[in-house]
Amino acid sequence: MPDRKPSLQDQAEIYAQHGTQVRRLATRLTGNRQDAEDLTQDVFERVFTSLDRYEARNLAGWIHRITTNLFLDRARRAGRQPTSALTAAHEARLVDDGSLPDDLVHDAGFDPDIEAALATLPSHLRVAVVLSDVEQLEHAEIAMLLGIKVGTVRTRVHRGRAALRRELAHREPRAGRTRVLGALGI
Amino acid sitting at position 78: A
Q: Dihedral angle at the C-alpha atoms of 114, 118, 121, 122, nearest 10 degrees?
A: 180
Find the length of the chain.
Answer: 186
Task: Output the pTM of the full model.
Answer: 0.63
Q: What is the mean pLDDT of residues 130-155?
A: 90
List helix spans (H) across 51-111: 59-80, 88-94, 101-107
pLDDT at residue 37, rounded to an integer: 93
The tens digit of pLDDT for each residue in 13-59 reads 989 999 999 999 998 888 888 999 999 999 999 999 888 777 767 88
As a whole number of angstroms, the longest Cα–Cα distance in the chain is 68
d(CA 143, CA 151): 9
Question: Does residue 117 surpass a pLDDT of 50?
Answer: yes
Domains recognised in the chain with CATH numbers: 1-77 (1.10.1740.10), 111-170 (1.10.10.10)
Which of 171, 133, 136, 139 shows the shortest CA–CA distance to 154? 139
Residue 86 CB contacts under 8 Å (≥ 6 apart), including other chains: 94
Cα separation, 159 vs 126, in Å, equals 10
Asked whether the beta carbons of 6 and 52 are under 8 A apart, the reply is yes
Give the pLDDT score at 3.
Answer: 53
> Tens digit of pLDDT for each residue in 59-98?
888 898 899 889 988 888 876 544 444 444 444 433 444 4
Please count the CA atoms within 13 angstroms of the CA of 132 that sit on its side-chain side: 21
Question: For position 156, what pLDDT does the model report?
Answer: 95
Q: What 3-state class would DSSP assign to 42?
A: helix
Separation CA 41–CA 144 (nearest Å): 23
